[in-house]
Homo-oligomer: A and B are copies of this chain.
Amino acid sequence: MNNKNYQIGIIGASGYTGSELARILINHPQTDIVAITSESHKGKKFSDLHGQFSGIVDMELVSADQLDVTGLDVLFLALPHGVSMEFVKRWKESGIKIIDLSGDFRLSSPEIYEVWYKKDHTYPEGFDTAVYGMPELHAEAIKKAKLVANPGCYPTASILSLAPLFRSKLGIDPDGAIIDAKSGITGAGIKASNTTHFSNVNDNFKAYGIGSHRHTVEIQEQLSFLVKKSVNLQFTPHLLPVDRGILATSYLKIEKEMSQKKLDAMYLDFYRDKPFVRIRKQAPSIKDVRGSNYADVFPFWDARTNRAIIISAIDNLVKGAAGQAVHNMNLMLGLEESMGLHQVPMQP
């Protein structure tokens, strides 16, 4: 054990990502949270915003502009896309490891970013060094990275579902994949809106962003790196009346000979020694992973239709955001990769 803990700054306190980072890091054995920033709430206590931290994290929030980052080891950016890139730029020479939880550096180029995010990118050089922070695919690159782009929540569930098939030599049709995904409302953020009003969500369910959600391109890119072809797949998000969790149901025709046994073996092999992917023997539910960093993946072979159906479940705020970010931090700091991430899923 080190004598000295790593010094951590959380940039952006007001959202769910910020509060989840604090929830995890406060019990991490080798980190100290030394600063949390907020522009709109500076001067307040962190626990004034997030009452659950009363008596646990009562630290005063400071403006990011006034933050002296000297001596910090890691910065987590829990900011909206478009805002995050400015802070990456600001601290690019500081030598501090940065984990960006926004979408600003997840794609392969600023050009593609500008098409799907409909926004100019003000720090295109960042793409040269940013590493896509999915440990199951890119652990070696993450270990050496100074800037990690933490994956989106839907892409995490979707890519983990399909990666083994896209890396296989099965000759699948990469454009044939359909991902029908369902997310809890925290995916829409902490801000009050018609979308997040209780009575519009409770006892309700709907699809949104049909054919146009920007996570589509993030999924396509990562899968295209695996299959070494362009990918043009279907991704449809839906809004569940739950707080947390994503469940993705993915469909892919397989023309070559396949069986349940072969499919299981392929998935078990792909995720061997990946501590947070659990290959299940039955369809997981989102409470099986709630509050934890696990991704539960269930591959099913339908011999009647020659389709693989993959069900995956994650907590969008943990494996889909703050937990995966801490996993990335562990890799970047050379720590044991699951350190501080042993929370058991909370069911019920």
Contact = CB atoms under 8 A, between A and B. Distances in A.
A4 B249 CA distance: 46
Contact of A242 (B203, B232, B234): B203
A177 B95 CA distance: 52
B245 A205 contact: yes
A199 B210 contact: no
Interface string A238-249: 101111110101
B243 A206 contact: no
A211 B300 CA distance: 9
A129 interface: no
A55 B278 contact: yes
A192 B190 contact: no
Nearest to A191: B197
Given A196-B198, A199-B243, A300-B211, A51 B288 contact: yes
Give the size range of A's interface with the partner: 35 or more
A194 B197 contact: no
Contacts of A289: 52
10 contacts: A16-B199, A22-B344, A23-B346, A52-B287, A54-B288, A182-B238, A184-B203, A198-B201, A210-B311, A234-B305
Contacts of A251: 178, 234
Nearest to A305: B234
A182 B185 contact: no
Oligomer: number of copies? 4
Contacts of A175: 305
| Residue with the highest number of chain B CB atoms closer than 10 Å, among A182, A283, A307, A344 | A344
A243 B304 contact: no
Nearest to A251: B178
Most buried by B among A197, A202, A241: A197
B236 A206 contact: no
B54 A211 contact: no
Interface string A180-216: 1010111000101110111111111111101100000
Contacts of A346: 23, 52, 291, 346
Nearest to A179: B180
Contacts of A202: 185, 198, 201-203, 241-243, 348
A103 to B, nearest CB: 20
Given A54-B288, A210-B311, 9 more contacts: A51-B284, A52-B292, A54-B278, A198-B198, A201-B202, A210-B283, A238-B249, A240-B240, A291-B291
Given A23-B344, A247-B206, A251-B178, A198 B307 contact: no
